[in-house]
Structure 1
Amino acid sequence: MLPAMASESEKAHALLQSFSTASAISSLGLGIFCFVADKLLQFSFIQQNDWLRALSDNTVHGVVGLWSWAIVIGLKKKSDFTEVMLAGFLSSVIDVDHFILAGSLSLKAAFTLPRRPFLHCSTVIPVACLMLKLIMHLFKLKDSWCFLPWMLFISWTSHHVRDGIRHGLWICPFGKTVPLPYWLYVAITASLPHLCSFIMYLTGTRELMLIKHGFHIDV
Structure 2
Amino acid sequence: MLLAMASETEKAHALLQSFSTASVISSLGLGFFCFVADRLLQFSVIQQNDWLRALSDNTVHGVVGFWSWAIVIGLKKKSDFTEVILAGFLSSVIDVDHFVLAGSLSLQAALTLPRRPFLHCSTVIPLVCLTLKFIMHLFKLKDSWCFLPWMLFISWTSHHVRDGIRHGLWICPFGKTAPLPYWLYVAITASLPHLCSFIMYLTGTRELMATKHGMRIDV
Change (3 A) 1:5 1:58: farther
* 2: CA distance, partners of 1:68 / 1:18: 12
Q: Which moved more, 1:41-50 or 1:13-22?
A: 13-22
The answer (yes or no) to whether the contact 2:76–2:213 under 8 Å persists in 1 is no
1:152 & 1:5 partners in 2: Cα distance?
A: 32
Change (3 A) 1:209 1:2: farther
Counterpart in the other structure of 2:145: 145
Contact 1:71–1:218, Cα closer than 8 Å, also in 2: no
Q: Which runs of 5+ in 1 are unaligned?
A: none
Whole-Å separation in 1 of the counterparts to 2:56 and 2:32: 17
Q: How many residues matched? A: 219
The alignment's TM-score, normalised by the length of structure 1, stands at 0.94
Q: Distance in 1 between matches of 2:38 and 2:136?
A: 37
CA RMSD of aligned residues (A): 2.8
CA 1:118–1:164 in 2, change beyond 3 Å: closer, same or farther?
same
- Offset at 1:217? 8.3
Kindly report structure 1 stretches of 4+ aligned residues shifted beyond 6 Å: 1-6
CA distance in 2, matches of 1:177, 1:218: 43
Contact 1:18 1:218 in 2 (8 A): no
Give distance in 2, aligned partners of 1:5 and 1:149.
28
| Matching of residues 53-68 of structure 1 within 5 Å | 53-68=53-68
* Match of residue 183 from structure 1: 183
Cα distance change, pair 4–113 in 1 and its aligned pair in 2 (3 A): farther
Structure 2 residues not aligned, in runs of 5+: none
Which residue is 1:116 aligned to? 116
8 A Cα contact 2:70 2:84, kept in partner: yes
Percent of residue pairs identical: 91
Change (3 A) 1:129 1:6: farther
Matching residue of 1:6: 6
CA distance in 1, matches of 2:48, 2:146: 43
Return closer, same or farther for 1:217/1:70 CA change in 2, 3 Å cut-off: farther
SS of the residue aligned with 1:144? coil
TM-aligned CA distance change 1:59 to 1:218, over 3 Å: farther
1:86-110: per-residue Cα shift (whole Å, max 9, x none)?
Answer: 0000000000000000000000000
